[in-house]
Amino acid sequence: MSPKQLEDMYDAVIVGAGAAGLSAALGLLNSQETKDLRAQGLDPKVLVISKLQPLRSHTGSAEGGIAASLGNVDADDWHWHYYDTVKGGDWLVDQDAAQLLAQYAPETVINLERQGVAFSRTDDGHIAQRRFGGHTKDFGGEPAKRAAYAADRVGHQILHTLWQQCVAAGVEFAEEWYVTDLALTDDRSRVAGVVAYDTHTGKTHAVRAHNVLLATGGAGRLFHTTSNSWDLTGDGMALALAAGLQLEDAEFVQFHPTGLAHTGILLSEASRAEGGILRNADGEAFMARYAPEHKDLAARDVVSRSVMAEIDAGRGVADPKDPDGPKDCVWLDLTGVDEAHMLTVLPQVVETVKQYANLDPAKDWVPIKPTAHYTMGGIPVTTEGEVYQWADGARHIVAGLFAAGECSCVSVHGANRLGGNSLLDACLFGTRAGSALAARIADDPVDGPMADPDIDGALEQAVDAVKSTRETELNALLAAPTESEEEADPRDDNPYALMAELGSVMERAAAVRCDADSLAEAMAALRGDLAPRAAALSAHEKTAAFNQEITAIWEIRHLLALAEAVLTASDARHESRGSLKRTDFPERDDERFLAHSMTDGEGTVVWQPVRIVDMPPQKREY
């Protein structure tokens, strides 16, 4: 689906149509400001651009639950959720943001239910809730049943519901358009719009806007083993870097403990919440040694490191599909879970194990290993979704530029995200960003009587200049190579091969653990080999329309830029915290590194203090 025609200027362009982008669109359109504008005869001009059909967005793969202190099964309190979020993030969480996350979580879940999300139910008809790693009662006490769920397909339910609500509200979509550039004014103080490539026609478009919101998801494709779909290539974060902006806490990439062996496909944390147990080659339930109180439901970074420690100690097992292969897995034992109950609450897990491992989880132990799952860092934003730059000890807002969801960093996850908090973050802060967008639009609507043509003219020029540069590059990608170019590099390189090589490089350098040598080796591979080869790529098919290789070339370039930022930030943080395990700096160092890394595309890292409200750092134990 493409828009019937592009407007000369939009009030808002939302890039991405997962939970965050769709929540932002609904937050904008359902706001009082939008209602007031419509009463005046002014209908905001809004466009949602997605490189996928929205129902293919990665939100749909979320399985286990969305966290909220509803108290439907256990007594609960949002203050406990707040504490768990701060502790789970190893005290790198901005506590003002975490308070909002926990306090408004119940309202967010109830609103989703009212919009149509079919949550699983308790016997008395309330939204059902289950245990999830790191969620506790009474500030670190016994585990709490806080994750609202829909069997193990809650993301599917939320995505379809939000999309249906957007269709009902008349949201205009540009589907299968790939945003290639974020356009800012020359001084980077204000957004001007985006440049987008229509994959159906092969044409680039200047999409001018007073406001832009980036909601493009994460970057799991940085790693070879990942639970993320093929499309999560860090586009929004790379667009920010290319525009001269910073990324916050790029070094923190979460590995989910239970990826199905050698596929990376996620086996939901719900499998352990329902009674699954991790076992090593000796059959030992080893998490009791690493997290005596919470065992298999400790925070994800704790469990992932424990799995790798067992493998490193020689207590790993081989994938039954490759019995003579490396012993780089452990077992997930679900045989103690009643089979009928398993089929009711974990249908996706059962189907995945049977289809991809040829095993029956009711009878067989299942091989698993950690899989790249979530980027805690991203584009720095306020609690209203406004993108900012950190300089001279202060936040400097980029006027009209917003971000939400996994590509952003409001820092509610800190150094490690708790299960159930990602869908919550996307829906809650996506909605807040949409409301903030509406307030900006109300102050200066495109069709308003006070619109300034000089300002709009300047924004148009900024976007048009970027579009011209991108069109020149596109023509070069489609041009036939000269004989001298062919002789200079006889390899038949392609972006997919480079993605595979990058994934292997990052896996060796930074998967679960790293040190200065591994980071330096990976950086040398990026700068000395992969980046020059990516820069030299051209399309094998010379037709622009429906040419997937064109977008793949841009995706690998985005991934390489983002990989360099991840390695740079990881190298700058001389401590271990949350998901970042530096084997050469094994301890947390609050004196020097209780701060957010702010990394730009030039490799410069500056530090922003963590916002502490009422929870000073403590020792983190499970």
216: pLDDT strictly greater than 80: yes
Q: What pLDDT is stored for residue 292 in this prediction? A: 94
The stretch 175-201 carries a mean pLDDT of 96
pLDDT digits (tens, 9 = 90+) for 499-512: 999 999 999 999 99
Give residue 484's pLDDT band: very low, low, confident or very high (50, 70, 90).
Answer: low
Of 248, 227, 253, the C-alpha closest to 510 is 253
611: pLDDT strictly greater than 80: yes
- How crowded is residue 354: how many other Cβ atoms within 10 Å of its Cβ? 14
490: pLDDT strictly greater than 70: no
Distances (CA, A) of 117 to 149, 188, 343: 10, 40, 21
Give residue 2's pLDDT band: very low, low, confident or very high (50, 70, 90).
Answer: confident
482: pLDDT strictly greater than 70: no
What's the N-to-C CA distance of the chain in angstroms?
49
pLDDT digits (tens, 9 = 90+) for 67-110: 999 999 999 999 999 999 999 999 999 999 999 999 999 999 99
Q: What pLDDT is stored for residue 453 in this prediction? A: 77
User: What is the percent of the chain with per-residue pLDDT over 90, rounded to a whole number?
Assistant: 94
Q: What pLDDT is stored for residue 565 in this prediction? A: 98
492: pLDDT strictly greater than 90: no
Residue 331 CB burial class (10 angstroms; 0-12, 13-18, ≥19): buried
User: What is the percent of the chain with per-residue pLDDT over 70, rounded to a whole number?
Assistant: 98
**Least confident stretch, 400-404, 458-462, 491-495:** 491-495
In residues, how long is the chain?
622
Give residue 575's pLDDT band: very low, low, confident or very high (50, 70, 90).
Answer: very high
Q: What pLDDT is stored for residue 455 in this prediction? A: 79
CA angle in degrees (0–180, nearest 5) for 50-51-57: 75
* Reduced DSSP (H G I as helix, E B as strand, rest coil) percent helix, strand, coil of the chain, to 5: 40, 20, 40
Helix (H) or strand (E) holding 558: helix 548-572
491: pLDDT strictly greater than 70: no
pLDDT digits (tens, 9 = 90+) for 526-541: 999 999 999 999 999 9
Give residue 481's pLDDT band: very low, low, confident or very high (50, 70, 90).
Answer: low
Classify 197 as helix, strand or coil: strand
Residue 362 CB burial class (10 angstroms; 0-12, 13-18, ≥19): middle
Catalytic residue among 146, 153, 190, 300: 300
300 is a catalytic site residue: yes
26: pLDDT strictly greater than 90: yes
Q: Tally the C-alpha atoms within 13 A of residue 26's C-alpha that lie toward its C-beta.
A: 26
pLDDT digits (tens, 9 = 90+) for 313-356: 999 999 999 999 999 999 999 999 999 999 999 999 999 999 99
Residue 586 φ/ψ, nearest 5 degrees:
-75, -10
Q: What pLDDT is stored for residue 483 in this prediction? A: 57
487: pLDDT strictly greater than 70: no
**Mean of pLDDT over the chain:** 95
CA angle in degrees (0–180, nearest 5) for 201-207-211: 150
Distances (CA, A) of 412 to 93, 300, 424, 598: 5, 15, 10, 16
Residue with tokens 């980046």: 531
